Amino acid sequence: MAKSVLIVDDAAFMRMMIKDILEKNDFRVVGEAADGAEAVTQYKEHSPDLVTMDITMPEMDGITALKEIKKHDPSANVIMCSAMGQQAMVIDAIQAGAKDFIVKPFQADRVMEAIDKTLG
């Protein structure tokens, strides 16, 4: 059965790019969220195998959302997405429990490498 994924990014264009990469690689996108609060709600609803989480978003940022998801499900697989130059935030995310991170603009092979590594 296809692995399920929740895509979280405040930019619809970025969500579309990741969704395209995932669907071409036989993943099932079970939800999309535009901010961290929505991500936490959708995670609880869908319990996806994987979450791709943007760091910088309105309402609730990705690191806060990551911590909330980890509180709800300590075994959650979350890969952070960040623009260049956000290294300090990436370190915070890894310390908060993110499994890996991918840098925007997304490259399909790097996205899949992070996912394969995370899901083993």
Domain edges within the chain: 4-81+88-119
pTM above 0.85, yes or no: yes
Per-residue pLDDT of the chain (120 residues; tens, 9 = 90+): 899 999 999 999 999 999 999 999 999 999 999 999 999 999 999 999 999 999 999 999 999 999 999 999 999 999 999 886 667 888 899 999 999 999 888 899 999 999 999 998
List all residues 6 or more positions away from 8 whose beta carbon is below 8 Å from its beta carbon. Answer: 15, 32, 33, 34, 35, 36, 38, 39, 51, 52, 53, 54, 57, 62, 65
Tell me the helix, strand and coil percentages in the chain, rounded to 5.
Answer: 45, 20, 30
pLDDT of residue 87: 77
pLDDT of residue 106: 87
Sheet strand arrangement including 50-54: 28-33, 4-8, 50-54, 78-82, 100-103
- The CATH architecture that domain 4-81+88-119 belongs to is 3-Layer(aba) Sandwich (3.40)
pLDDT of residue 115: 96
